[in-house]
Amino acid sequence: MSRTKDSAGSGLVELVVIVAVALGLALGIQALLVKPYRIPSESMVPTLEVGQRVLVNRIGKRFSDPHVGDIVVFHPPLGSESDTCGNDQLGENQPCDRPTSRRADINFIKRIVAGPGDTIAVRDGHVIRNGRPQREPYINNTCEGDAGRGCTLADAIRVPAGHWFMMGDNRGESDDSRFWGPVPEGWIIGGAFATYWPPKRLGLL
């Protein structure tokens, strides 16, 4: 009888250990490899709707640089919620060329529209990168008629080394790098690569 009890007890301990290891691995994978993220605002409409869920690749950025066109989750600079630019001498007709020196403890999701060394201006909501208008079939141009904030910033600035310029696809309704500056690469959490909720929007980005 005692052997049966010991066997049952050891089997229970083994099950608990297996479950704990499996749970630890799942949490580790989520923390290190893939992270779910809920879209909190309309800044990425029509590409991403409010409440939609995406998967963010956390490990990929450790092996390759971001690219213009990527949708990424990142920490914005401190002051982003009040549109604070790190360069207080910036002209009114220019996008912000320098973020504040500290990052905020919040996450944003935007599209990379320019990278290190690029020049960028904005005309009627469209990106002018290195002097050339960009093809942007994914945007919701709520800047038509120059109706939104930051729709035309015609005086180009240069993106500093190691920084990436972010903009929302909903151009007239997005708080982004136009107002608080390019984002240091180290503040990028990862690239959004797929949407999994709601089921009707399931797919790759």
> Is residue 74 within 8 Å of 189, Cβ to Cβ?
yes
* DSSP one-letter code for 103: B
> Is residue 88 within 8 Å of 50, Cβ to Cβ?
no
What positions carry a catalytic annotation?
A: 43, 110
> Is residue 168 within 8 Å of 43, Cβ to Cβ?
yes
Q: Pick from 36, 33, 31, 109: which is nearest to 75 by CA? A: 109
> Is residue 74 within 8 Å of 106, Cβ to Cβ?
no
